[in-house]
Amino acid sequence: MMQAMLQYAGYLILLLVLAYPLGKYIDNVMRGRWVWLSPVIRPVERFLYRLTGVNEREEMTWKKYLGCALLFNFCGFALLFALLMLQGRLPLNPMELSGLEWPLAFNTAVSFVTNTNWQAYSGELQLSYISQMFGLTVQNFVSAGTGMAVLYALIRGFVRTYDDTIGNFWTDLTKSVGYVLVPLAVVVTLLIGSQGVVQNFEDYTTYNLSETVVTEYGTAISKGVVPGGPAASQIAIKQLGTNGGGFFGTNSAHPLENPTPFSNLVEMLSILLIPAALCFSFGNAVGSRRQGVTIFAAMFALLVLGMGIIGFSEQAGTAQLAQNGAVLLEAGDMQPGGNMEGKETRFGIASSAAWAEFTTAASNGSVNSMHDSYTPIGGLITMLNMQLGEVVFGGVGCGLYGMLCFAILTVFIAGLMVGRTPEFMGKKIEPYEMKMAVLACLATPVAILAGSGIASMLPEVAESMNNHGAHGLSELLYAYSSCGGNNGSAFAGFGADTVFLNVSLGIVMLLARFLPIVAVVAIAGSLAGKKKLAVTEGTLPTDNVMFAGLLIAIVLLVGALSFFPALSLGPIAEFLQ
């Protein structure tokens, strides 16, 4: 147990040490300041502006900014949808894979455009190299860039006064991808590539098995296949961009995606690196580092709490596992103890539990163990992380702007309780901002509960489940929570490739991604036009421990009120059985 606690502490300390300097760098980039990579990237940036006809000095109103963001993402969806449908007629397809059927192509295109990366397919079996590289990997970059751009639009709303503009979407997107995501992805690609993560364009390798295997259907298998492909470059940005979609079907549990403890460490830290750094970017941008530290502290506390619960639950196991001594729950010299079902022995419980918390706290969705095999409480925490609206650091940009919407709610509620003026960072919070903040905060719960409620009544969905009863409901609820939380991980065993599930999950992803973006950009435009209020005795402090505690309480309260009935019928009922 002590060794596990040291592992958890090591992960958290490394995250903090790396996030702080990166946060300052990102803020300098997004504010157009000269950084050490400028001599290399700035000429490329200028060339792209000339090529596309973008005026980098143009300022946009919030409506134009929003329109550009939505148009860009719609075009990305259309191009990716067409690519997936036509991949059978395109090059870089050594296995001669056919195009996807339209429901699966729709679901996959929506999934990657919305930064969700939900996968109702197995990558090495159904997607060609060109689909993986020019389709999915490109969207991994630009969907994360969109989140960072929208975040800085909101930040400008807090900073500017009497202004009707909030920046330029095209320059924000270009800077976030060119200066932040691409350089970091190159570094991570080289690090994990050095550990054996595959990166090639070769055909799949066929080999003879030492023994012929007979399946449950009576089929004799005498040959195996080792897949290849440009995996390392996609895996790097899938983690850094909080995307999560695996190159291979078993994702980061696959030995060609995540072969060693060092690759596991690099990939896991990459998941939360940019979302954590953006808290410090926010503090620098608004001229109050205490504000950034307060938001970071609230997120960090929720992260530590979730990691502790998952780690304890998996190490302790359950009474059923201990029954008749069938499973040794106590760690010893020759075995780790605890609930090792669904976990890789090369990672063990500590690295698996930490990854589970990191990936569901962010909108990442990559897994190095099967969450379906977790204890009921361990599985509950992974679900709850997503259901809170991906605000425990969350996705690149979207996690922080989601938490800032919760901060607006907290200021308003706290102000009503103590009779103080609802103000946040010098801007008065009025009914318009409240309506938009509520829309942003409730879009995820409504999409998840409505989608899973409808799905639970359909016989075809029940047939897609690997389990029934309380655990079966957890499978279904996890799937819609994953899509509604823009996460993309699955509870394993859930056969989601039907027309209804592909379309309904796609709609949930669209609503949970773009309704908050609309609300956040509208808030940014409203705040930018307001004056800055002076701090008085009636102003509620928003940069101290008390406010961080209130913020945590509001986040948990919204999650508890929204999802407690559903969780009671799923993981909680399973725990009590």
Q: What is the pLDDT of residues 280-329, one digit of tens each?
A: 999 999 988 999 999 999 999 999 999 999 999 988 877 777 676 666 66
Question: pLDDT tens-digit profile of 336-371?
Answer: 778 888 888 888 888 999 999 999 998 888 888 888
Q: What is the mean pLDDT of the segment spanning 49-58?
A: 93
Reduced DSSP (H G I as helix, E B as strand, rest coil) percent helix, strand, coil of the chain, to 5 = 65, 5, 30
Residue 459: predicted pLDDT: 84
Assign 215 a pLDDT band (cuts: 50, 70, 90): low
DSSP per-residue string spanning 48-74? HHHHHT--TT----HHHHHHHHHHHHH
- Decide if 294 contacts 542 (C-beta within 8 A): yes
Residues 230 and 193: their CA atoms lie apart, in Å, by: 10
| Per-chain mean pLDDT for the chain | 88
Q: What is the mean pLDDT of the segment spanning 100-113?
A: 91
Above 90 in pLDDT, residue 279? yes
Above 90 in pLDDT, residue 33? yes
Q: Which ranges constitute the DSSP H helices of 323-371?
A: 348-361
User: Which stretch of 46-55, 130-139, 296-305 has the lowest confidence by average pLDDT?
Assistant: 130-139
Residues 479 and 136: their CA atoms lie apart, in Å, by: 20
DSSP per-residue string spanning 501-559? HHHHHHHHHHHHHHHHHHHHHHHHHHHHTSPPPPP-TTBPP-SSHHHHHHHHHHHHHHH
Residue 331: predicted pLDDT: 65
Above 70 in pLDDT, residue 1? no
The pTM for the full model equals 0.92
Above 90 in pLDDT, residue 154? yes
Residue 272: predicted pLDDT: 93
Residues 103 and 502: their CA atoms lie apart, in Å, by: 6
Residues 49 and 42: their CA atoms lie apart, in Å, by: 11
- Decide if 132 contacts 234 (C-beta within 8 A): yes
Residues 450 and 312: their CA atoms lie apart, in Å, by: 32
Residue 485: predicted pLDDT: 87
Residues 493 and 507: their CA atoms lie apart, in Å, by: 22
3-state secondary structure (DSSP) of residue 369: strand
3-state secondary structure (DSSP) of residue 40: helix
Residues 148 and 170: their CA atoms lie apart, in Å, by: 12
Above 90 in pLDDT, residue 469? no
Residue 390: predicted pLDDT: 79
User: Which stretch of 119-123, 161-165, 238-242, 362-366 has the lowest confidence by average pLDDT?
Assistant: 119-123
- Decide if 230 contacts 121 (C-beta within 8 A): no
Token duo for residue 422: 């609802």
What's 404-415 look like in SS3? HHHHHHHHHHHH
Side chain identity, residue 118 = W
Residues 297 and 544: their CA atoms lie apart, in Å, by: 10
3-state secondary structure (DSSP) of residue 363: coil
Q: What is the mean pLDDT of the segment spanning 512-522?
A: 95
Tell me, what DSSP letter sits at residue 371? G
Helical (H) or strand (E) element with 29: helix 2-30
- Decide if 370 contacts 381 (C-beta within 8 A): no
Side chain identity, residue 195 = Q
Q: How far is CA 91 from the centre of its chain?
A: 31
